[in-house]
């Protein structure tokens, strides 16, 4: 069995963003040489997410609005977490909703996606470098 690991780095200047990282993940898969197996992709920061969905701008705006209604950034005083001196209590909750990782089957050396599926990095507390782990195992 082969095993491959790579870290992808992101530095989102704004507070929040959704970035299609499918091309970078596909590059990792090619570099791994795995033809049949599994690919794990996970955010390595507790205020960021990795998820699968459609790359459609209206959907991304819907996510933004929905998440802000669920866990509004302001007032920052509403979150007990922010008593530590941070202002990202909302980002932790948004990450919890959107998820930490995805696992995708690898078939014939390609991500075994359904129609329209893409992998996204979700940033909820940007302004610094953060990592995403890609781990591929298989034959």
Q: Residue 117 in 3-state DSSP? A: coil
**Rounded to an integer, what distance in angstroms lies between the CA atom of residue 43 and that of residue 95?**
10
pLDDT at 128: 96
DSSP assignment of 32-80, as one string?
HT-SEEEEEEEESSTTEEEEEE---HHHHHHHHHHHHHHS-S-SGGG-G
Average pLDDT in the chain: 97
Q: Give the pLDDT confidence score for residue 121 in this predicted structure.
A: 98
| pTM for this model (two decimals) | 0.96
Q: What confidence score (pLDDT) does residue 9 get?
A: 98
Note the pLDDT of residue 134: 99
- The CATH number covering residue 12 comes to 2.60.120.460
What's residue 23's pLDDT?
A: 98
**What is the pLDDT, as a whole number, of residue 115?**
95
Mean pLDDT, rounded, for 132-137: 98
What mean pLDDT is predicted for residues 111-137?
98
Q: How many domains does the chain have?
A: 1
Domain encompassing residue 123: 2-138
Percent share of the chain, pLDDT over 70: 100
Per-residue pLDDT tens digits for 41-94: 999 999 999 999 999 999 999 999 999 999 999 999 999 999 999 999 999 999
């Amino acid at each position: 069995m082969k095993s491959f690991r790579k870290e992808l780095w992101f530095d989102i200047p704004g507070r929040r963003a959704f970035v299609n990282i499918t091309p970078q993940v596909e590059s990792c898969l090619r570099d791994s040489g795995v033809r049949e197996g599994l690919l794990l992709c996970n955010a390595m920061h507790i205020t960021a997410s990795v998820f699968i969905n459609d790359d459609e701008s209206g959907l991304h705006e819907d996510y933004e609005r929905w998440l802000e209604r669920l866990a509004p950034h302001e007032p920052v005083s509403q979150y007990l977490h922010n008593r530590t001196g941070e202002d990202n209590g909302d980002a932790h909750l948004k990450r919890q909703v959107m998820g930490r990782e995805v696992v995708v089957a690898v078939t014939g050396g390609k991500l075994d996606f359904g129609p329209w599926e893409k992998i996204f990095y979700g940033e909820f507390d940007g302004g610094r470098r953060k990592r995403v782990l890609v781990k591929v195992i298989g034959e």
